[in-house]
Structure 1
């Protein structure tokens, strides 16, 4: 995973964001990109993956607010935890990290792969990815976030002042959704709250909001949501 360039156009709102401790589980292209932008916005981020040693060179460039560890260390470190792993990994992570994750805001950016016909993928297709993820990450305050956008679109938006990327989010816990919305803003994007976890079906794979990678007015139009007053 390549490191992001230094962002010269960091927005003032991001500089003033209240710092949070965030664990990133799955620091590949999406998790790594979003996490790097958060570090530059002033948050403390612990990046983790199956091969944490491979992340050291990237975090060294980010300074003291970035660190590397195991998924368990990321879950214990963050008051917010971003999941950006293959969807099939969620059930085991939920079992292994249940105690560490209890009560925490979990941002779920994971998607079942296209064409997959296993039991978990069928369950997510039948019941919706949001409710299915919540089932396998029990005890968390789960919000679907960053699941419908590309890392390259997030990276580009973080360096712009206008025409920002709209990121659809959905969750059942209102304060957790508010935390997610702020972190979307801190990543240089604009949040669009679509509804509860069941409503996240509208921006999962196959839905009109999936990989739209567009602005807030256009995403509202695609999802049939009214313009904000």
Structure 2
């Protein structure tokens, strides 16, 4: 299926029809011990995911912790990771019984979907340490490159575009750029907001990966806006006109020229 033939409605239909379920082993769909499965929505709480997934998060900083909290509340099993997972005890306890801590290698192996939420200068190390592990994984690439922090890798991004550089370092992954276009505080502030959900731009080359991530964006409390193939991720990268827009999904589609 060629990407350009896939509409947003088709993507969400794919997800609703079982794309996420197909990505999740049967064992992963079982509830965590001692946690009740909630089928009915509760006031002021997100609706539970129809098909729980396992989500590994590389990094446990502001963005990783914020996204992990959204998906744990939605009923997914979440593993936040660090080279020193014992230091994450307080964080994961605060996210409830569906959250746990592990090393980056464990998080990649655990996740049906893996979120990369580390400083961009760490991407070459991720490539060296886990090269074989990325193959076939649905990866949400939430990283941004800044000159002061990321050094030589920032230069690569300026020369080649962030989509191409992410594809280089996460070789073999089914990459979807998402949750990279704004500060984590905007996500925390706007999740499940009233009056029109905040739009989250996504870009990727794999239609099923886009469908899976679109569903996770919805369950986190936002409106997924599929901008196009991975190369289009530069249109909402840091420093672009599409960065940091705290607007609704329809407004974001209009601003970025995306057909519904």
TM-score strictly above 0.5: yes
CA distance in 1, matches of 2:114, 2:238: 22
Q: How many residues align?
A: 219
Give the one of 221, 229, 249 matched to 1:188: 221
Q: Which stretches of structure 1, 4 residues or longer, exceed 3 Å deviation after superposition?
A: 114-119
Alignment correspondent of 1:10: 45
Does residue 169 of the first structure (1) align with residue 198 of the second (2)?
A: no
Unaligned runs of 5+ residues in structure 1 are: 1-6
CA distance in 1, matches of 2:150, 2:208: 35
Give the one of 189, 192, 204 matched to 1:156: 189
Does residue 105 of the first structure (1) align with residue 138 of the second (2)?
A: yes
SS of equivalent to 2:193? coil
**Larger of the two Rg values belongs to structure:** 2
TM-score of the aligned structures, taking structure 1 as reference length: 0.89
Does residue 73 of the first structure (1) align with residue 115 of the second (2)?
A: no
CA distance in 2, matches of 1:211, 1:51: 32
1:2-59 deviations in whole A, cap 9, x for unaligned?
Answer: xxxxx952233xx143111010011111110011110000000000124423321121
Give the one of 172, 189, 205 matched to 2:238: 205
Alignment correspondent of 1:26: 59
Alignment correspondent of 1:4: none
Root-mean-square deviation (CA, aligned residues, Å) is 1.8
Matches within 5 A, 1:125-144: 125-144=158-177
Unaligned runs of 5+ residues in structure 2 are: 1-41
SS of equivalent to 2:244? coil
Give the one of 125, 136, 160 matched to 1:92: 125
The answer to whether the 8 A contact 1:90-1:136 is kept is yes
Alignment correspondent of 1:3: none
Alignment correspondent of 1:46: 79
1:145-197 deviations in whole A, cap 9, x for unaligned?
Answer: 10102222222222424421111000011111111111111111111000111
CA distance in 1, matches of 2:149, 2:95: 36
Does residue 119 of the first structure (1) align with residue 152 of the second (2)?
A: yes
The answer to whether the 8 A contact 1:167-1:189 is kept is yes
SS of equivalent to 1:152? helix
CA distance in 2, matches of 1:97, 1:61: 29
CA distance in 1, matches of 2:148, 2:203: 24
Deviation at residue 122 of structure 1 after TM alignment: 1.9
TM-score of the aligned structures, taking structure 2 as reference length: 0.79
Deviation at residue 139 of structure 1 after TM alignment: 1.1
Deviation at residue 117 of structure 1 after TM alignment: 7.9
SS of equivalent to 1:193? strand
Which one has a larger percent helix, Structure 1 or Structure 2? 2
Does residue 82 of the first structure (1) align with residue 115 of the second (2)?
A: yes
CA distance in 2, matches of 1:117, 1:155: 25
